[in-house]
Amino acid sequence: MDTAFWHRRWQKQEIGFHRSEVNPLLTNYFPTLKLTPPARIFVPLCGKTVDIHWLLHQGYSVCGAELSELAIQQLFEALNIQPQIESIAGFKHYSAQHIDIFVGDIFQLSAEMLGQVDAVYDRAALVALPEQMRADYAKQVIALTQSAPQLLIHYEYDQTLMDGPPFSVHESELMQLYAHFDQKQCLQNELLQNDRLNSRIGNDADILEKVWLFKTE
């Protein structure tokens, strides 16, 4: 999987991962982070997720990283916000009050460019990456955010049933990827039902959807 894959998906609007409604797992479990506005939330590989709308409406600040500039143009259009756009160290930086999005390769982003982060919200980033990229991704996000707590959502299913993305990430791998954190709390572990992913993989297949909170003491 390379950058051309994602650019092609966005150009063709093959974005089945995009949801038109705020993810209920965000609204249900965000309070476990115990943050107060205007805490700054990093949304990696953010696309044009409407979860950003919700975070902003709650009074939080949002920073994100995204490969597709088209996605970020559509995000700001949906927000009805006119961003300032500047080039910084190989990135396009889209910014407005309480929001900063860096368009480019997240692996080239630095903590200095990103700035302070109080928490990470990962709904569709880790699961968008094949196994050979996930360890580097997890290390990069931890480094970028200086070990900020993370609210992370992932799936477990029989990978032979579908190539992905979204990919299946089993709990054993997740524990290795995020071993850095002292506290690893599973907030939800339920079978996914009546979701578009069920129809893609097969309605008879078991798909676990898990929500995790990772923190350091």
List, as residue ranges, the binding site for S-adenosyl-L-methionine.
10, 45, 66, 123
Annotated binding site: 10, 45, 66, 123
**Which is it for strands 99-103 and 61-66: parallel, antiparallel or unpaired?**
parallel
The helix (run of H) or strand (run of E) holding residue 86 is strand 84-88
The sign of the CA dihedral 176, 178, 180, 184 is negative
Q: Is 4 exposed, middle or buried (0-12, 13-18, 19+ CB in 10 A)?
A: exposed
DSSP notation for 51-81: HHHHHHHTT-EEEEEES-HHHHHHHHHHHT-
Measured from the Cβ of residue 205, the count of other Cβ atoms closer than 10 Å reads 14
Residue type, 191: L
Q: Measuring CA to CA, how many Å separate 111 from each of 114, 190, 202?
A: 5, 34, 41
Cβ–Cβ < 8 Å for 156, 208: yes
